[in-house]
Amino acid sequence: MTGIYLSGKTRLGTEEFDYIFETGTHKRISVIGPNGSGKTTLLRLIAGHECLLSGSLKIDEAIFDEPVSEFFLAPHLRELVLQHQGGSVFPHLTVEGNVAFPYRAKGYSKRNARSLASETIADFGLSELKDKYPKQLSGGQTARVSLARSLTRRPKLLLLDEPTSALDVESANQIHQILHRLDTTLLLVSHDPVEVLKLSDYIIALERNQVIQFGDLESIIQRPASPWLSKFFDLNLISGVATGLEFTSDCGERLQLPQHHSGNVQISFPSSAVSLHLSPPTGSPRNKWKTTIAGLDRKDNLVKIKLSGSFDCHATITLASFQELEIALGNTIWASVKATELNVLPNTIPAKT
Amino acid sequence: MMRSIHRPTPFGLLVVAALGFALLAIPFLGLAQRTPWSSFAQIATEETVLRSISLSMIIATSSACICVILGIPLGLVLAKAKFKGLKIVRAIVLLPMVLPPVAGGTALLFALGRKGFIGEKLNSWFGITLPFTTAGAIIAATFVALPFFVLSIESSATELDSKLEEASLNLGATPTRTFFMITLPMLRSSILAGVALSWARALGEFGATITFAGDNPGQTRTLPLQLFVALETNPERAMVIGMLMVVISLFVLVTLRGNWLGRR
């Protein structure tokens, strides 16, 4: 566990950034927000490539950056790695040279560094590529090299700036699997709600160069502080197994799929696609299940309802239909979603333990 | 059969380009046409000529080495540093490129010459005199060649992806190690290009050398100086030396600069 505490301001050119949050004991943290809301600057600040103008940055109680006491820990002394968007793989070094770099940086000889890195190279499935140069690699391979290199540093904290933004689904999935297994504390900048839901349990939300909300994933999904956030998290994610056109959730609930799939999958659907009924619905929606109302949250003309039961998900309905249903916390109700609203994500990582 | 898109160049452009090329190429034709080819080898291996060749090589190579040592930090600072007066510093660094070398040589003379304000101290404290010595000729050549090297470093250092250096720091490398393991290798091709350019410039140096280091056979009489002296006393030798310099320079430009710059 690596706790980050940041409260402070910085300025880049004419833009001012104001950050305040604390991550406590959480190890899977996502930084989200619209384009240009200060996500990358936040990572650069933590990594020591930008500095605070006021306030302080502490990691595990140790001061990293504090203008008042004129303290600034140089980037190479911070035991963390910032992995830039695109990976910043060294073009003049081979795959092996890149992955072994953190050992070289510590002063190991070329030969020792390479033998120390060989295990990581094998773990990442890069053994056959080890003599290639970055320009000979595909996007997915480059991302793996970059991640392998970050991990040979054995950082306490890994800062990832959109590690999968340029990757195809399968390469992104490989990266997700590796990240999922990691023991290191992760701070992930992502634009992808599915990635955030899969990989994090704590959220720092930025808008207009400020932290507008931070807290655990559940509470933010339940009470998003801005329209952008509520739109971002308007997504249910359920894991299970697909066999043909049928999906069985981990808890045994069955749903119809829009296309044929097999193996472990996750399905996602927006909360607005869920309809609620007092009695078992008849007619077109085949996907229906019995559920309990576990939470209610009203925002303007919409009510976001947390449903628990065989699987947890959210439904968003209008205030009018909510009043019509005459339901309250703890009530049992029928939920349904059209198969056409389901989005299937194959080859996913096993459910969180 | 190989096919490639052919984009026609406007005819007028070709004509003007040909004129420009002619202006640059015709003098060498003139020289080649008057060169006494039958006695070329004999003149080229005369002792005085050979001595000038080796002296020129020593001076150009030493000067290129000094350029590498001084020019890489200077180019990086110009590319990355932000301070007041940076524009003035850059202008002073590039001054020898536009200044007539004779003026540069004069300036060197008044600073480092026997009566110069530093030269005087060098002489009285350490007994060092630079004029009429090979060391003086190296300083004169470096004075005119260094800006070429610095410019080559600066232009590629400004395009250097600073994220790579950041990544190196994050991976635990100290700033010094980052410089040697990331920055220098990334600048490799521009360092090589800068070496070729500054070496060639130092090889052809005349004005600053003759003004500051004077004409001292065996010490400062490089190929260009030998050429100048021969022009009055032995025109045949002058033509041979001229031709030799054309060949050496052309060789440097075609092989070194072409290959190294093309690697990018």
Domain finish residue from A199, A226, A253: A226
Hey, are the CB atoms on B173 and A75 less than 8 Å from each other?
Answer: no
Q: Which domains does chain B have, with CATH numbers?
A: 55-222 (1.10.3720.10)
* Within-domain flag for A174: yes
pLDDT of residue A347: 57
In angstroms, the first-to-last Cα distance of chain A is 16
Q: Which long-range contacts (CB under 8 A, 24 or more apart) does A299-308 make?
A: A299/A230, A304/A222, A304/A230, A304/A271, A305/A276, A306/A222, A307/A274, A307/A333, A307/A335
Laid out side by side, the sheet with A343-346 consists of A236-249, A254-269, A343-346
Residue B171 has its nearest CB partner, among A49, A74, A102, at: A102
Residue A82 has its nearest CB partner, among B170, B172, B178, at: B170
* Within-domain flag for A348: no
Hey, are the CB atoms on A106 and B188 less than 8 Å from each other?
Answer: no
Please tell me what DSSP assigns to residue B37.
G
For residue B262, give the H/E element and its range.
helix B258-262
Please tell me what DSSP assigns to residue A339.
G
pLDDT of residue A281: 80
Residue B181 has its nearest CB partner, among A49, A104, A149, at: A104
Range list of β-strands (E), A23-166: 28-32, 54-59, 62-66, 71-72, 80-83, 157-161
Q: Cα separations (Å) of B215 from B36, B60, B99, B207, B241?
A: 26, 17, 21, 11, 17
Examine the domain organization and report whether A118 and A153 are in the same domain: yes
Nearest-CA neighbor of A66 among A13, A24, A10? A10
A174 touches A10 (CB < 8 A): no
Rounded to a whole number of angstroms, the distance from the CA of A176 to the nearest CA of chain B is 21
pLDDT of residue B254: 79
Q: Which 3-state string (H, E, C) describes B128-148?
A: CCCCCCHHHHHHHHHHHHHHH
Which domain CATH number covers A262?
2.40.50.100
Q: Cα separations (Å) of A214 from A24, A59, A210?
A: 11, 17, 11
Examine the domain organization and report whether A113 and A215 are in the same domain: yes
pLDDT of residue B258: 55
Would the pTM of this model clear 0.80, i.e. be above it?
A: no
Q: How far apart are CA A16 and CA A306, in angstroms?
A: 37
Which domain CATH number covers A12?
3.40.50.300
* Within-domain flag for A349: no
Hey, are the CB atoms on A105 and B163 less than 8 Å from each other?
Answer: no
Residues A101, A102, A104, A105, CA torsion sign: positive
* Within-domain flag for A241: yes
Number of domains in chain A: 2
B197 touches B152 (CB < 8 A): yes
Mutate to test the interface with A, among B168, B171, B183 (most CBs of A within 10 A): B171
For the segment B84-97, what is each residue's pLDDT rounded down to a tens digit?
Answer: 888 899 999 999 98
| A78 vs B: CB within 8 A | yes
Residue B163 has its nearest CB partner, among A74, A84, A92, at: A84
* pLDDT score of B263 more than 70: no
If you measure CA to CA, which chain A residue comes closest to B178?
Answer: A105
Range list of β-strands (E), chain A: 4-12, 15-22, 28-32, 54-59, 62-66, 71-72, 80-83, 157-161, 185-189, 202-207, 210-216, 236-249, 254-269, 275-277, 287-299, 302-309, 313-318, 332-337, 343-346
Mutate to test the interface with A, among B170, B181, B188 (most CBs of A within 10 A): B170
Residues B202, B206, B212, B218, CA torsion sign: positive
pLDDT of residue A342: 86
* Within-domain flag for A128: yes
Phi then psi for residue A37, to 5 deg, are: -100, 5
Domain finish residue from A202, A226, A250: A226
| A84 vs B: CB within 8 A | yes
Summary mean pLDDT of chain B: 88
Residues B202, B203, B204, B210, CA torsion sign: positive
Please tell me what DSSP assigns to residue A137.
S
Examine the domain organization and report whether A12 and A128 are in the same domain: yes
| A109 vs B: CB within 8 A | no
| Residues of chain A below pLDDT 50 | 349-353
Q: How far apart are CA A199 and CA A217, in angstroms?
A: 10
Examine the domain organization and report whether A256 and A200 are in the same domain: no
Q: Find the length of chain B.
A: 264
Q: How far apart are CA A35 and CA A122, in angstroms?
A: 36
- Counting one residue from chain A and one from chain B, the pairs whose CB atoms sit within 8 A come to 62
Rounded to a whole number of angstroms, the distance from the CA of A44 to the nearest CA of chain B is 10
B167 touches A90 (CB < 8 A): yes
**What is the rounded average pLDDT of the residues B122-133?**
83
* Within-domain flag for A352: no
Examine the domain organization and report whether A288 and A182 are in the same domain: no
Q: How far apart are CA B151 and CA B157, in angstroms?
A: 10
Laid out side by side, the sheet with A287-299 consists of A275-277, A332-337, A287-299, A302-309, A313-318
* Within-domain flag for A265: yes
For the segment B172-227, what is each residue's pLDDT rounded down to a tens digit?
Answer: 999 999 999 999 999 988 998 899 889 989 998 999 999 988 888 888 899 899 89
Burial of A89 (0-12, 13-18, 19+ CB in 10 A): buried
Examine the domain organization and report whether A201 and A102 are in the same domain: yes
Facing residues of A346 across strands?
A265
pLDDT of residue B257: 57
If you measure CA to CA, which chain A residue comes closest to B177?
Answer: A105
Domain finish residue from A168, A202, A226: A226
| A153 vs B: CB within 8 A | yes
For the segment A144-175, what is each residue's pLDDT rounded down to a tens digit?
Answer: 999 999 999 999 999 999 998 888 888 888 88
Q: How far apart are CA B74 and CA B208, in angstroms?
A: 22
* Chain B residues near any Cβ of chain A (below 8 Å): 161, 163-164, 166-175, 177-178, 181-182, 185-186, 188
pLDDT of residue B113: 83
| Res. B234 pLDDT band, cuts 50 70 90 | confident
Rounded to a whole number of angstroms, the distance from the CA of B165 to the nearest CA of chain A is 9
Q: How far apart are CA A43 and CA A159, in angstroms?
A: 7
Please tell me what DSSP assigns to residue A127.
G
Facing residues of A344 across strands?
A267
pLDDT of residue B128: 80
* Within-domain flag for A353: no
pLDDT of residue A170: 82
Examine the domain organization and report whether A208 and A336 are in the same domain: no
List, in order, residues 6 or more apart from B203 with CB less than 8 Å away: B56, B57, B59, B60, B222, B223, B245, B248, B249, B252
Examine the domain organization and report whether A207 and A248 are in the same domain: no
Hey, are the CB atoms on A150 and B186 less than 8 Å from each other?
Answer: no
Examine the domain organization and report whether A19 and A76 are in the same domain: yes
pLDDT of residue A77: 93
Examine the domain organization and report whether A217 and A249 are in the same domain: no
B89 touches B78 (CB < 8 A): yes
For the segment A214-245, what is each residue's pLDDT rounded down to a tens digit?
Answer: 999 988 887 888 888 888 888 888 888 888 88
Hey, are the CB atoms on B170 and A78 less than 8 Å from each other?
Answer: yes
If you measure CA to CA, which chain B residue comes closest to A148?
Answer: B171
Contact residues on chain A for B172, CB-CB shorter than 8 A = 76, 102, 105-106, 153
Hey, are the CB atoms on B170 and A105 less than 8 Å from each other?
Answer: no
Residue B185 has its nearest CB partner, among A82, A84, A92, at: A92
pLDDT of residue B123: 80
Examine the domain organization and report whether A203 and A329 are in the same domain: no
Hey, are the CB atoms on B188 and A149 less than 8 Å from each other?
Answer: no
Examine the domain organization and report whether A261 and A208 are in the same domain: no
Hey, are the CB atoms on B168 and A105 less than 8 Å from each other?
Answer: yes
In angstroms, the first-to-last Cα distance of chain B is 28
Q: Find the length of chain A.
A: 353
List, in order, residues 6 or more apart from A104 with CB less than 8 Å away: A97, A110, A113, B173, B181
Structural domain range at position A280: 236-343
